[in-house]
Structure 1
Amino acid sequence: MTQFLRARRRRRRPPASDAAPQPAYAAIDLGTNNCRLLVAEPADGGFRVIDAFSRIVRLGEGLSCSGRLSDAAMGRALRALEICADKMRRRGVTDARAVATEACRRAENAAVFVGRVHNATGIEMEIISQEEEARLALHGCAPLLDCAIPNALIFDIGGGSTEVSWLTTPGAKAQAEGGGVAAPDLVAWYSMPIGVVGLAERHGGRDITPAQYAAMVEESREALAPFAARPEVCDVLSEGRVQMLGTSGTVTTLAGVYQGLPRYDRKRVDGCYMGFDTVQAVSRRIAAMSYGERSRHPCIGDQRADLVIAGCAILEAICRTWPVGRLRVADRGLREGILAELMRASPTRPCNETEKDGQPGPRQSP
Structure 2
Amino acid sequence: MSQHLIAAVDLGSNSFRLQVGRVVGNQIFPLDSIKDPVRLAAGLGADKRLDGASQLRAIDALARFGERLRGFPQERVRAVATNTLRVAKNTPDFLAEAQAALGFPIEVIAGREEARLIYLGVAHTLPNPRTRQLVVDIGGGSTEFIIGSNFQPAQLESLYMGCVSFSLRFFPDGRVDKRRMKEAELAARSEIQSIVQTYRESGWEEAVGSSGTAKAIADLIELNGMGQGGEITRAGLEQLRGLLLRAGDPARLVLQGMRPDRVPVLPGGIAIMSAVFSEFELERMTFSEGALRLGVLYDLLGRYHHDDLREATVGLFMQRYSVDRRQAARVSQTALGFLQQLEPACRDPEHIDSLFLVWAARLHEIGISVAHAGYHKHSAYILANADMPGFSRQDQARLARIVQAHRGKLERMQGEHIELHDWRLIFCLRLAAVLHRSRTDDSLPEIDVFISGDNFHVVLEQGWLDDAPLTGNALADERQHWAALGMNLKIKERRPAAVGR
Partner deviation per Cα, 1:68-103 (whole Å, 9 max, x = no partner):
111110110110011111111267886110000000
Superposed, 1:18-167 pairs within 5 Å as 22-43=3-24, 46-89=27-70, 95-145=76-126, 147=128, 150-167=131-148
CA distance in 2, matches of 1:140, 1:155: 12
Q: After TM superposition, give the deviation of residue 341 of structure 1 in Å.
A: 1.9
Secondary structure of the equivalent of 2:23?
strand
> Does 2:212 correspond to 1:246?
no
| Mapped contact 2:250–2:267 kept (Cα < 8 A) | no
The alignment status of 1:198 with 2:156, answered yes or no, reads: no
Task: Kindly provide the amino acid, as one letter, of the partner of residue 299 in structure 2.
Answer: E
| Pairing 1:302-321 to 2, within 5 Å after superposition | 302-321=260-279
User: 1:146 deviation in Å?
Assistant: 6.2
Task: Kindly indicate whether the alpha-carbon contact (under 8 Å) linking 2:10 and 2:16 is maintained by their aligned counterparts in 1.
Answer: yes
The match for 2:193 is 225
User: 1:38 Cα deviation (Å)?
Assistant: 0.3
* 1:255 has 2:218 as partner: yes
**SS class of match (2:147):** strand
In structure 2, do the counterparts of structure 1 residues 94 and 161 end up closer, same or farther at CA, with 3 Å as the change threshold? closer
Give the SS at the match of 1:303.
helix
Question: One-letter code of the match for 2:214?
Answer: V
Q: How does 1:151-190 map to 2 (within 5 A)?
A: 151-167=132-148, 169=149, 183-190=150-157
SS for the counterpart of 1:250 is: helix
- Give 1:358's aligned residue: none
User: Where in structure 1 are there 5+ consecutive unaligned residues?
Assistant: 1-19, 170-182, 262-268, 350-366
Mapped partners of 1:131, 1:293: distance in 2: 37
| Structure 2: gaps spanning 5 or more residues | 308-501
More helix by share: 2
Contact 1:24/1:94, CA 8 A, preserved across alignment:
no
Structure 1 CA distance for aligned equivalents of residues 154 and 287 of structure 2: 21
- Describe the shift of the 1:249–1:73 C-alpha distance in structure 2 as closer, same or farther (beyond 3 A): same
Please tell me whether residue 292 in structure 1 is matched to residue 260 in structure 2.
Answer: no
Q: Assess, with a 3 A threshold, how the Cα gap between structure 1 residues 247 and 195 changes in structure 2: closer, same or farther.
A: same
Q: Is the 8 A contact 1:24 1:95 kept in 2?
A: yes
Distance 1:150 1:118, change over 3 A: closer
Q: 1:148 to 1:302 in 2, by over 3 A?
A: closer
Report SS of the residue matched to 1:61: helix
Report if the CA contact (8 A) 1:26-1:93 is conserved.
no
Cα deviation, 1:121-141, whole Å, max 9, x if unaligned, reads 322111011111011000000
SS in 2 for 1:89: coil
Q: C-alpha distance in 2, partners of 1:93/1:214? A: 47
Alpha-carbon spacing, 1:236–1:56, altered in 2? closer, same or farther (3 Å) = same
**2:66/2:101 contact within 8 Å kept:** no
Count of residues in Structure 1 that have an aligned counterpart in Structure 2? 302
Q: Give the CA deviation at 1:44.
A: 6.2
Structure 1 CA distance for aligned equivalents of residues 48 and 303 of structure 2: 39
- Match status 1:234 vs 2:200: yes
Q: Which amino acid aligns with 2:291?
A: G
SS in 1 for 2:40: coil
Equivalent residue of 2:86, what SS?
A: helix
Residue 257 of structure 2 aligns to a residue whose secondary structure is coil
* Percent identical residues: 25
Shift of 1:111: 0.6
| Structure-1 residue corresponding to 2:233 | 275
Task: Note the alpha carbon deviations across 1:222-275, whole angstroms, 9 max, x for none.
Answer: 111010122xx22344xxx521111121110111112217xxxxxxx9x93332
User: Structure 2 vs 1, CA of residues 124 and 58 (structure 1 numbering), >3 Å: closer, same or farther?
Assistant: same
User: 1:216 aligned to 2:184?
Assistant: yes
Q: Secondary structure at the match of 1:323?
A: coil
- Matched to 2:264, the amino acid is D
Aligned partner letter, 2:221 = Y
Question: Which residue of 323, 339, 344 corresponds with 2:297?
Answer: 339
| Matching residue's letter, 2:166 | L
Q: Which has the higher contact order (CA 8 A, sep 6+)?
A: 1
Conserved? CA contact 2:210–2:291, under 8 Å = yes
Shift of 1:281: 2.0
In structure 2, distance between residues paired with 1:343 and 1:153: 25
CA distance in 2, matches of 1:287, 1:306: 14
For the structure 1 residues 301 and 150, does the alpha-carbon distance in structure 2 shift closer, same or farther, using more than 3 Å as the test? closer
Q: Return the offset for 1:300.
A: 2.8
Q: Take 1:148 and 1:41, find their aligned partners in 2: how far apart are those partners?
A: 22
Any conservation in 1 of the 2:15–2:37 contact (CA below 8 Å)? yes
Mapped to 2, the partners of 1:210 and 1:246 lie a distance apart of: 25
Q: 1:136-187 deviations in whole A, cap 9, x for unaligned?
A: 00000003446487532111111111111122x2xxxxxxxxxxxxx33222
Spell out, residue by residue over 1:3-27, the C-alpha distance to the aligned partner (whole angstroms, 9 max, x if none): xxxxxxxxxxxxxxxxx99321110
Q: Which digits, 9 at most, give the CA deviation of each residue in 1:257-308, with x for residues without a partner?
A: 12217xxxxxxx9x933322222222332343333334x6553333221210
- Rg (Cα) greater in structure: 2
Question: TM-score w.r.t. structure 1 length?
Answer: 0.75
Q: For the aligned residues, what is the CA RMSD?
A: 2.7
Aligned residue for 1:305, secondary structure, equals helix
